[in-house]
Amino acid sequence: MIESAKEHLRRIIKNYVNLVPMKIYTKTGDDGETSLFAGGRVRKDHLRVSVYGTLDEANSALGFALTLLPTSLNEVASELLQIQNELFVVGAELATPDPARLKMPLVSEKEIERLELAIDQMESKLPALKSFVLPGGSAASAYLHIVRTIVRRAERQLIELHLSGETRPVVEKYLNRLSDYLFVVCRFVNHLLQVSETPWVPSHGK
């Protein structure tokens, strides 16, 4: 049985996060630099900051997409909420040059396998994909497509960071599988809401 997103977050908070009052503004970033999660400072245009900033963008977009899901799709919402939590974990890892210093469980093959299982389960209930489909349909599906493209952008940035040897390969694999999952969940949401997909029809220059 898949652990619910709320249970997952509660376990992380209980076991790994030291909750202390957080001050919103510190004035330490006024010079164009930012502090990394486990120490050290870099410029805000550093590639590492760009990657976890893009993941923050994806997480925010995912949060909005969740508001568009009807209550009848609570199971899908629960999975997306868990993904939001995992994106925070990935962001924390990317904000830390030495992930070993993080006192929380990092994403692993287990999370990737869960996404693959979810993809397989959804595809078993969907009509076979015989052509490209245009992003759209229901509002929730359309916005989840936006989330998917943001995750793809983060993945491209991460590949560049990975070339410097500063990331774990499993993180890149997780983002790749997540974008696959998001494509399928877009189709699945439309299917559950009985909204037709729009196939891509090449214009052939006309």
Per the model's pLDDT, the better-predicted residue between 8 and 76 turns out to be 76
Per the model's pLDDT, the better-predicted residue between 26 and 70 turns out to be 70
pLDDT at 165 over 50: yes
The candidate with the shortest Cα–Cα distance to 96, out of 151, 39, 175, 34, is: 39
Predicted local confidence at residue 203, as pLDDT = 76
Percent of the chain with pLDDT over 90: 52
Confidence label for 14 from pLDDT (cuts 50, 70 and 90): very low
Per the model's pLDDT, the better-predicted residue between 100 and 192 turns out to be 192
Could you identify the residue written with the tokens 């936006």?
146
Phi and psi, residue 50, nearest 5° = -60, -40
Lowest mean pLDDT among 2-6, 107-111, 182-186: 2-6
Lowest mean pLDDT among 57-61, 143-147, 165-169, 173-177: 165-169
Determine the Cα–Cα distance for residues 78 and 87; give it in Å rounded to an integer: 14
Q: How far apart are the first and last CA of the chain?
A: 52
Predicted local confidence at residue 6, as pLDDT = 47
Q: What does the mean pLDDT of the chain come to? A: 82
The encoded tokens of residue 200 equal 């891509």
Predicted local confidence at residue 7, as pLDDT = 52
Predicted local confidence at residue 36, as pLDDT = 54
Instruction: Decide: 13 and 19 in contact? Cβ < 8 Å.
Output: yes
CATH tag, 43-197: 1.20.1200.10
Q: Tens digit of pLDDT for each residue in 104-154?
A: 889 999 999 999 999 999 999 998 888 889 999 999 999 999 999 999 999
Predicted local confidence at residue 202, as pLDDT = 83
Predicted local confidence at residue 167, as pLDDT = 83
- The pTM of the full predicted model, rounded to 2 decimals, is 0.81
The strand pairing partners of 42, in sequence order, are 34
Confidence label for 27 from pLDDT (cuts 50, 70 and 90): low
Could you identify the residue written with the tokens 């009848």?
72
Mean pLDDT for the stretch of residues 11-18: 47
Residue 171: its H or E element: helix 169-192
List the domain boundaries for the chain.
Answer: 43-197
pLDDT at 51 over 80: yes
Mean pLDDT for the stretch of residues 86-101: 83
41 sits in the region (left: phi over 0; alpha: psi -120 to 50; else beta) called: beta
